[in-house]
Structure 1
Amino acid sequence: MHFTDAIAFAFDGQLTTFGEKVVVGGFEMLGIFDRGYLPVDVGGQVAMASTAPTLTIKEGIVTLTTKTAVSVRGEGYSIIEIQPDGAGAVRLVLREA
């Protein structure tokens, strides 16, 4: 098994264990939702953080753009950044709609 295949297999297990039903671009799927702190570069020496929510899903299920609608736990979000991991998953940085 190739390393990226092993990572994809492990992510499938994470989705099954920690994922919840979400709707992305009109398609229902499993995703891992998080509201963890993210670093924010404000161009200075002082570190800042943001609590932008993120959603990690399998890559390739739906075409993603910053106009793609996302719904998690009945709340609407818009995508502000798309971060593919190169191993079959993509992290979406969200903003409440």
Structure 2
Amino acid sequence: MSVFSDLTRAMSSVVLNAFGEPVVFHLEGQAEPLPGRGVFTAAHQEVDARTGVAVSMVQPVLEVRQSDLPALPTEGDAVTVQGELYLIVEVRPDGHGFLKLMLHKGA
């Protein structure tokens, strides 16, 4: 494991403790719902790769640490955040151990 990986893992714990909130995952193949922690954003902004222009989206996003989960979430799984059930419509690994879960409210 590299120094960068070690520092990233340590930093992610700090971020999740400061900004994260409890969530519950409903993953296919798991008998019971799984408690977790993630950083939830009801609407987020990202840059369009083609134009370089920031684009506001109303799609909610949950960012979680992959190592905290027993299985990789997939499209069609669900997660409860702030008492609301969301369908996971896309899973985007960031290459540093976090997953950006693109959600759809009302799964």
Normalised by the length of structure 1, the TM-score is: 0.82
Amino acid at match of 1:37: H
How many Å apart are 1:47 and its aligned residue?
Answer: 7.3
**What 5-or-longer segments of structure 1 have no aligned partner?**
none
How many Å apart are 1:48 and its aligned residue?
Answer: 5.1
How many Å apart are 1:21 and its aligned residue?
Answer: 0.5
Q: Which residue of 2 aligns with 1:69?
A: 78
Say whether 1:95 aligns with 2:107. no
Q: 1:75 to 1:18 in 2, by over 3 A?
A: same
Query: Partners in 2 of 1:10 and 1:89 — Cα distance?
Result: 12
* Deviating 4+ runs (over 6 angstroms): none
Q: Which residue of 2 aligns with 1:37?
A: 44
Using the aligned pairs only, state the percent identity. 33
Q: Assess if the C-alpha contact under 8 Å between 1:5 and 1:87 holds in 2.
A: no
Q: RMSD across aligned C-alpha pairs, in angstroms? A: 2.4
How many Å apart are 1:33 and its aligned residue?
Answer: 0.5
Q: 1:54 to 1:47 in 2, by over 3 A?
A: closer
Per chain length, whose mean CA-contact separation is higher, i.e. which structure has more relative contact order (CA < 8 Å, sep 6+)?
1
Q: Which residue of 2 aligns with 1:54?
A: 61
Normalised by the length of structure 2, the TM-score is: 0.75
Query: Partners in 2 of 1:70 and 1:30 — Cα distance?
Result: 11
How many Å apart are 1:39 and its aligned residue?
Answer: 4.7
Q: Which residue of 1 aligns with 2:21?
A: 20
How many Å apart are 1:38 and its aligned residue?
Answer: 3.4
* Number of residues of Structure 1 aligned to a counterpart in Structure 2: 95
Query: Partners in 2 of 1:63 and 1:51 — Cα distance?
Result: 24
